[in-house]
Structure 1
């Protein structure tokens, strides 16, 4: 990849990773339009630059990660720390278990572009009405272990390409009567262990399957650094915009956007435009 392709793909990653619009669907469009070949390094790049997005969440919500008792009700520092991280573990556990159990199914459907398009449309239609269905009159921000586990279960739906991890976790939070803001913020927090695990796994594969030299070939290391920095900056802006927007207006606009993107992908297929997933 050249510098322009690196920056564009990183911008797409940073913009879409935390929004309920499916980063997978957008990566299909971006890489197809740019004509980026799906090499082992490109595959690793699209996963590893998520580390920049992870840092954006920690940067914006550092008090919640390191001083969670600031918003607790009389809990000690260590008790609050334990509860905060324990809820993250409870929330991510279903994805770990089901991800391992259905790994073959997930892998076999990653290249199904039509499935992505239809999931974008179906999810978009659902988001047009989710405010009315789940969050009417809700003012609750308390996250219990039960709620964290249920949100984690709903997150597993995002194993279907095109559903969107962010959308599934936010809807899961709203189904538990959390406010829009509280549901979105826990979605961000839950992304940290989920995406960190994916990044570490990809690095492990690179270092243990004879491809560690990818980091030293050409400008690959520089490309990873640039991509991660761009994803970090863009993700910060995306998160700030998203929280402010959904708190005021809800999710309908993202629903319409998903529908439009899904229709574009289907239309491209009907016109014979080849669109490929990252292998």
Structure 2
């Protein structure tokens, strides 16, 4: 299991300023806050999870894919911090098992009371109400402490994540997948509001009949200018598929993200994409890039 601070710092550079206002409700956490949470929970969080709380908590909590640090709690022997996109399953670790293992489960909250406290915390954060935040967190933790008193209480439909590639089952790769997914999701949701913004461009979709060999040729061509986001390529690997989830330009001026449904590229730049860069990327990928879909 790897720390992912370096990768997160690169990705952070490509969160557009136009999204910052929407992320202000939540914050990234300090080392002291993480240490306090670990002391409360009597556990050392996996390195990549600590990195995410320090560098990407605002993005992932706002996107609904990360539980606020204040709300981390044990549910039986399980500690969840991620929320799976689309499914709502809780993703986390099991007490007493290898730190690189992830488990998924359904939260055992038949009365749906926890959501009320989560909403109260979100409202208090938006209003800057520190007392309201403390009350919401205290009520939430008290609720789960009471739920955990019966020794028979366990989450529902628990299963260990084991499928390859790595982003399906490991905290480091899964965390990077969620961040990349969230960045892409924010751009896809807002491009119509920023149609003149040329810091985010989308390629045309790949035709469905393209072969694996075709994608391998693209991977070979772009490597002159783009490298894998991580020095550990397995963290952004899509298994047998030749292309990676994300590439960073050799000068770190651009980020190339592969979308899986539908298959197309998203090109993010810190300033409006210059014609030289755009022409080179279009030549290497064989795809036209433009604003929106």
TM-score category by the smaller chain? under 0.3
TM-score when normalising by structure 2: 0.23
Q: Compute the TM-score of the two structures, normalised by the length of structure 1.
A: 0.23
Q: Which has the higher contact order (CA 8 A, sep 6+)?
A: 1
Larger radius of gyration: 2
